[in-house]
Chains A and B, each alone.
Chain A
Amino acid sequence: MRETDDRGEVLQGTLDLIVLKTLETLGPLHGYGIAQRVQQVSHDALRLNQGTLYPALVRLEQRGFIKGTWGASENNRRARFYALTRAGRKQLEAETAEWERTAALMARLLRGSEA
């Protein structure tokens, strides 16, 4: 899990947000699907280490933001699908707002320091 990779590693808080957002967009998804999606959206700039992804899924499930159930994948493989819970939806909203606030603040600050 502590393997280094030339592609970008994600911060813990950010990873949680990314996973929640992915599940909101795509609906219930298995671990492999989440990893694929993140890689796709980031145009391969972000690569999820499985040693980071799976603990994150456990963490989110422990907090009650997502719920995992066993089901069949598109090509009929047995897989564990994760779905956003109501608490997860709320958490996503809160974290998104928080993230935007931080991002806006950073942007303002960086602009300010340039001037």
Chain B
Amino acid sequence: MHELRALVSRLLSLFRRGRLDADLDAELESHLELLTDELRRGGLSEDEARLAARRELGGIAQVKEAVRDQRGLPFLETLLQDLRFGLRGLARHPGFTTVAVLTLALGIGGNTAIFSAVQAVLLSGLPVPEPERLVVITTRDAQGGETSDFSYPMFRDLRDGARPYLSVLATAGAQVNLSAPGVREQVKGELVSGGYFETLGVRPLLGRFFTAAEDVTPGAHPVAVLSHGAWLRRFGGDPSVVGREVLLNGRSITVVGIAPPEFRGLDPTNQIDVRIPMTMATVFRPFPANRLQNRRQRWMRLTARLAPGVTRAGAQASLDALFRNVRAAELPPPSSAAGDYERRRALTERVVLLPGARGLGHLQGAMRMPLLLLQGVAAVVLLIACANIANLMLARNAARRHEIAVRASLGAGRGRLLRQWLTESLLLSAGGGAAGLLLALLLHAGMRSLVPPEAAGLLGSALDPRVLAFALAASALTGLLTGLAPALQAVRSAPFAALRGEAAGGSDRLLSLRGGLVLAQVALAVPLLVAAALLAGTLRNLHRVDTGFARQNLVLASLNPSLNGLPQPRIAALYRELLDGARALPGVTSAALAGASVLSGDWDRLGIAVEGYTPRQGESMSPNANHVSPGYFGTMGMQLVLGRDFTEADALGAPKVAVVNETMARAYFGGASPIGRRFTLEPGGPFDVEIVGLVRDAKYVNLRERTPRHFYVSVWQSPRHFDLTLHLRTGGDPAALIGSVRDLMRRLDPAVPLYGITTLEAQIETSLVRERLVSAFSTTFGLLALLLATIGLYGVVAFSVAQRTREIGIRLALGGQRRDVVALVVRHVSGVVGTGLLAGFALSLGAGRALGSLLYGVTPGSRGAYAGATLLLALVAAVAAYLPARRAASVDPVRALRCE
């Protein structure tokens, strides 16, 4: 209590120092007078008494100093003094200060922006209470096969059996056509088990979530919960939507609640619009009909919350025992040899619980490497920036030798000097950090515009507390890094020698320290430039890769009339009408339907058996497959090498036919023609599919893939139609066509929405988002590193020329050639840059290897990248050396010798 009062009083005293000092002076003066009076009364003369009193009182200055220390907060006062002095010093050199703050702002801002993405994508958990207690249930078998899919009966068994230590919930995707007054579109749906919201700990924004009773009878619970986003976008945030009925896939469903805005489900990359009870799978995923009873149908993903006090390992052991019991009971008895093999393999399946704090997203996996890479790159750029500032401060030290010396001789201790210098660098880095934070906000907005809109929310907010803490820590560290070397150098530099005059030795040491810093900058810039070149090469290669189809002028639009509950004959008719109508649209040169579009990331694999072909041990017999209409290959610009395209005659009831790609033909038939060969889609059955065509290889899932085996079947031979994608080849601007396609669909059936309307080029660009982001950032950082290193190099060379003006003057006066003087500078620069390059190559080897899987079509040791980086550095080094060299050569010997 008294201590607190004392502290407050000390703090307050800082603001009334003048008054208190005057009081103290008066008090001590009165003490002196009283003492003098006393002594005079003792018989001394006036003067003698005054003198004796002064002696008696002792050093007045010391007394004042002691009182001041007691009165205020000496530590804070020195700090304020340092700050004031530092600010004044920085203000006196606005050029230096501006360059330093901007340089640090670039370094800190870049790091903070990348960190904001790292923290949003890799570090933060799902926005639910205690996300760290969530686990994802997966299994692994003896062959290393991993799966995270489970059947509904298995889910029920696990949920019921694990209740004491785990709350298990299940999710599965569903396509949903939503219609309500004024709204008609395809939305993303998710089937969720009864305890979904409760287990995750989410509370509804409006209305209610699902009850346990709604988790019982298949097909009998027509209720739905809207996501906050869907509620805003589709219903304008109207609260009266709760309790209202909407049509989902043609079924009347009651909206019972709205999820809170921050809730993004278990996979933040996949924005679900509407959630429906799992028991409604009979309506929303109607095939196969016995989905909820079939133990062989594994289609749901399981997530669970650990009970309090239960560890992941403990829960895994218990759940594994339970899982194996259930599995042993559910597998069919061993009958055939194949069944026996399957059974043995299935029984090796073990439960593995993965940490689920970040949900089920795949993004973490895909973005982990690139983000960590960029963070590393940004950190190196910051290091280079630090070296630059340290270099500038060292140069200033040289100019401040006199000041340092004066301060030292006036009694400033080493500690005080060190503190003063560090205060200055921390002031700079604080300024840089503040400006960097602003820059990070801009960069963050830029990043959001580079990714597809649905992923932008994932990048979180740049003003997250963790991001702010990071910026603060980065600034503090930067301040120490930049300030330490100059501060130590300032303290060590012999101050008294400086007072006596110019000391040559210290200047040489300083120069070598600064040369070392520049060398490190060059060495660090090399791997960044090499990496940027490799990544830019990767992007270029991916853009140039032979896709096997024509990219330009292709419009895509998908639809799924089956979700509207239309009968299959009507669906087939609708698809034909759409195709005919599209072909008649002005501007359309050809049109086709396909089950999936290339590079959409959405692909089927079908198990087959090939007549006359025996698979090798472990060989996968599930090539990629696509259902396509006649005219697909022509529309895509895929070249038919042999045989024929599908025709309208290849319909339901006609002999089944297929077209294969070159890789598939080579795999199963060697060099022989595949035409007329047969396979089956039902291994064990007759070989009833005849190959009628061979088409050139293409890219299917992504641009980096090694071409997989791939075949096509005629879409008109499918007994049932689900979602198909319309492909339109246009003569001109594809975007102009989108409106007329929408009109066409509305004329044919206004209840069926089109979705995924895009162009093939846009789809390719979307598939390259990651590559574009990484390449853009690494190029920016690489050039930034180059710029900083150049500035550093220029600074050191210019400084050394200025320092040696006298020496150069003497050389010239003694008959030295100007050419030799230039050679002197060039030797200096090439020494630093050459050594830096060599060290940089060594670092690049490691960096290239770290890039590994991010590269495409370039090797980490690519000579082009190294040559490019070397050339670029040599070029800028030449520029950085040219100006100082010219100045050195133009030194006037008379003037150089006269000064000083």
Q: Are A78 and B30 in contact (CB under 8 A)?
A: yes
Query: Which one of A18-26, A51-59, A95-103, A104-112 contacts B?
Result: A51-59
What chain B residues lie within 8 Å of A77 (beta carbons)?
A: 30, 33-34, 37
CB distance from A31 to the nearest CB of B (A): 5
Please tell me if A40 contacts chain B, counting CB pairs below 8 Å. Answer: no
- 17 further A-B contacts with Cβ under 8 Å, apart from A30-B30, A54-B28, are A1-B66, A30-B31, A30-B34, A32-B31, A32-B35, A50-B58, A51-B59, A51-B62, A55-B66, A55-B70, A77-B30, A77-B33, A79-B30, A79-B34, A80-B23, A80-B27, A87-B2
What chain B residues lie within 8 Å of A8 (beta carbons)?
A: none
Please tell me if B9 contacts chain A, counting CB pairs below 8 Å. Answer: yes
A to B CB contacts below 8 Å, 18 in the list: A3-B59, A31-B27, A32-B30, A33-B34, A50-B28, A52-B66, A54-B66, A58-B67, A61-B9, A62-B5, A62-B71, A63-B3, A64-B2, A64-B5, A77-B34, A80-B26, A87-B2, A91-B2
Residue of A nearest to B31 (CB): A32
Residue of B nearest to A59 (CB): B70
What chain B residues lie within 8 Å of A55 (beta carbons)?
A: 66-67, 69-70
Q: Are B6 and A62 in contact (CB under 8 A)?
A: yes
- Which listed residue, B38, B59, B63, touches A54 by the CB 8 Å rule? B63
Please tell me if B488 contacts chain A, counting CB pairs below 8 Å. Answer: no
Residue of B nearest to A3 (CB): B58
Please tell me if B330 contacts chain A, counting CB pairs below 8 Å. Answer: no
Q: Are A73 and B30 in contact (CB under 8 A)?
A: yes
What chain A residues lie within 8 Å of B10 (beta carbons)?
A: 62
What is the bound-complex CA distance between A18 and B212, given in angstroms?
Answer: 78
CB distance from B642 to the nearest CB of A (A): 100
> Taking A73-B30, A75-B37, A79-B30 as contacts, is the C-beta distance between A51 and B63 under 8 angstroms?
yes
Residue of B nearest to A35 (CB): B31
Please tell me if B57 contacts chain A, counting CB pairs below 8 Å. Answer: yes
Q: Are B26 and A78 in contact (CB under 8 A)?
A: yes
* Most-contacted residue by chain B among A33, A52, A59 (CB, 10 A): A59
Q: Which residues of A contact B (CB under 8 A)?
A: 1, 3, 30-33, 36, 49-52, 54-56, 58-59, 61-65, 73, 75, 77-80, 87, 91
Q: Are B58 and A32 in contact (CB under 8 A)?
A: no
What chain B residues lie within 8 Å of A65 (beta carbons)?
A: 2
Residue of A nearest to B13 (CB): A62
Contacting residues of chain B (786-841) with chain A, CB-CB under 8 angstroms: none
A interface secondary structure, majority: helix
- Which listed residue, A54, A63, A75, touches B67 by the CB 8 Å rule? A54
Please tell me if B65 contacts chain A, counting CB pairs below 8 Å. Answer: yes
Q: Are B66 and A63 in contact (CB under 8 A)?
A: no
What is the bound-complex CA distance between A63 and B9, given in angstroms?
Answer: 8
What chain B residues lie within 8 Å of A73 (beta carbons)?
A: 30, 34
Q: Are B31 and A58 in contact (CB under 8 A)?
A: no
What chain A residues lie within 8 Å of B31 (beta carbons)?
A: 30-32, 50, 79
Residue of B nearest to A33 (CB): B34
What chain B residues lie within 8 Å of A36 (beta carbons)?
A: 38
Contacting residues of chain B (20-78) with chain A, CB-CB under 8 angstroms: 23-24, 26-28, 30-31, 33-35, 37-38, 57-59, 62-63, 65-67, 69-71
What chain B residues lie within 8 Å of A78 (beta carbons)?
A: 26, 30
Q: Are B34 and A58 in contact (CB under 8 A)?
A: no
What is the bound-complex CA distance between A75 and B69, given in angstroms?
Answer: 32
* Most-contacted residue by chain B among A50, A78, A87, A91 (CB, 10 A): A50
CB distance from A45 to the nearest CB of B (A): 17
Residue of A nearest to B3 (CB): A63
Residue of A nearest to B27 (CB): A80
What chain A residues lie within 8 Å of B37 (beta carbons)?
A: 75, 77
CB distance from A52 to the nearest CB of B (A): 8
- Which listed residue, A63, A79, A80, touches B6 by the CB 8 Å rule? A63
Q: Are B62 and A59 in contact (CB under 8 A)?
A: no
CB distance from A19 to the nearest CB of B (A): 14
> Taking A54-B63, A55-B70 as contacts, is the C-beta distance between A62 and B9 under 8 angstroms?
yes
What chain B residues lie within 8 Å of A1 (beta carbons)?
A: 62-63, 65-66
What chain A residues lie within 8 Å of B38 (beta carbons)?
A: 36
CB distance from A63 to the nearest CB of B (A): 4
What is the bound-complex CA distance between A30 and B33, given in angstroms?
Answer: 12
- Which listed residue, B2, B28, B65, B71, touches A58 by the CB 8 Å rule? B71
CB distance from A26 to the nearest CB of B (A): 15
Residue of A nearest to B29 (CB): A78
What chain A residues lie within 8 Å of B30 (beta carbons)?
A: 30, 32, 73, 77-80
CB distance from A39 to the nearest CB of B (A): 11
What chain B residues lie within 8 Å of A49 (beta carbons)?
A: 58
* Most-contacted residue by chain A among B2, B26, B38, B66 (CB, 10 A): B66
Q: Are A63 and B2 in contact (CB under 8 A)?
A: yes
What is the bound-complex CA distance between A50 and B23, given in angstroms?
Answer: 16
* Most-contacted residue by chain B among A3, A51, A64 (CB, 10 A): A51
What chain B residues lie within 8 Å of A59 (beta carbons)?
A: 6, 70
What chain A residues lie within 8 Å of B66 (beta carbons)?
A: 1, 51-52, 54-55
Top 9 closest pairs, chain A to chain B, by CB: A55-B70, A62-B6, A1-B66, A63-B2, A32-B34, A62-B9, A79-B30, A51-B63, A51-B66
* Most-contacted residue by chain A among B35, B38, B63 (CB, 10 A): B63
What chain B residues lie within 8 Å of A3 (beta carbons)?
A: 58-59, 62
What chain A residues lie within 8 Å of B35 (beta carbons)?
A: 32
What chain A residues lie within 8 Å of B33 (beta carbons)?
A: 77
What is the bound-complex CA distance between A62 and B12, given in angstroms?
Answer: 11
What chain A residues lie within 8 Å of B3 (beta carbons)?
A: 63
What chain A residues lie within 8 Å of B2 (beta carbons)?
A: 63-65, 87, 91
What is the bound-complex CA distance between A32 and B38, given in angstroms?
Answer: 11
What is the bound-complex CA distance between A65 and B26, given in angstroms?
Answer: 22
CB distance from A10 to the nearest CB of B (A): 15
Residue of A nearest to B72 (CB): A58
What is the bound-complex CA distance between A31 and B66, given in angstroms?
Answer: 15
Q: Are B5 and A63 in contact (CB under 8 A)?
A: yes
What is the bound-complex CA distance between A31 and B34, given in angstroms?
Answer: 10
CB distance from B72 to the nearest CB of A (A): 10
What is the bound-complex CA distance between A51 and B66, given in angstroms?
Answer: 6
> Taking A73-B34, A77-B34 as contacts, is the C-beta distance between A51 and B58 under 8 angstroms?
yes
Residue of A nearest to B36 (CB): A77
What is the bound-complex CA distance between A31 and B35, given in angstroms?
Answer: 11
What is the bound-complex CA distance between A103 and B57, given in angstroms?
Answer: 32
What is the bound-complex CA distance between A78 and B35, given in angstroms?
Answer: 13
What is the bound-complex CA distance between A77 and B67, given in angstroms?
Answer: 22
* Most-contacted residue by chain B among A55, A73, A75 (CB, 10 A): A55
What chain A residues lie within 8 Å of B59 (beta carbons)?
A: 3, 51
What chain A residues lie within 8 Å of B27 (beta carbons)?
A: 31, 54, 79-80
CB distance from A73 to the nearest CB of B (A): 6
CB distance from A59 to the nearest CB of B (A): 6
CB distance from B17 to the nearest CB of A (A): 13
What chain B residues lie within 8 Å of A54 (beta carbons)?
A: 24, 27-28, 63, 66-67
CB distance from A81 to the nearest CB of B (A): 10
What is the bound-complex CA distance between A78 and B22, given in angstroms?
Answer: 14
* Most-contacted residue by chain A among B3, B5, B34, B71 (CB, 10 A): B34
What is the bound-complex CA distance between A64 and B33, given in angstroms?
Answer: 28
Residue of B nearest to A80 (CB): B27
* Most-contacted residue by chain B among A1, A31, A63, A75 (CB, 10 A): A1
What chain B residues lie within 8 Å of A91 (beta carbons)?
A: 2
CB distance from A114 to the nearest CB of B (A): 39
What chain B residues lie within 8 Å of A61 (beta carbons)?
A: 9
Residue of A nearest to B12 (CB): A62
CB distance from A88 to the nearest CB of B (A): 10
CB distance from B50 to the nearest CB of A (A): 14
What is the bound-complex CA distance between A40 and B582, given in angstroms?
Answer: 116
What is the bound-complex CA distance between A27 and B726, given in angstroms?
Answer: 103
CB distance from B129 to the nearest CB of A (A): 47
- Which listed residue, B34, B57, B70, B71, touches A50 by the CB 8 Å rule? B57
What is the bound-complex CA distance between A52 and B37, given in angstroms?
Answer: 23
What is the bound-complex CA distance between A14 and B26, given in angstroms?
Answer: 27
What is the bound-complex CA distance between A64 and B34, given in angstroms?
Answer: 26
* Most-contacted residue by chain B among A33, A49, A77 (CB, 10 A): A77
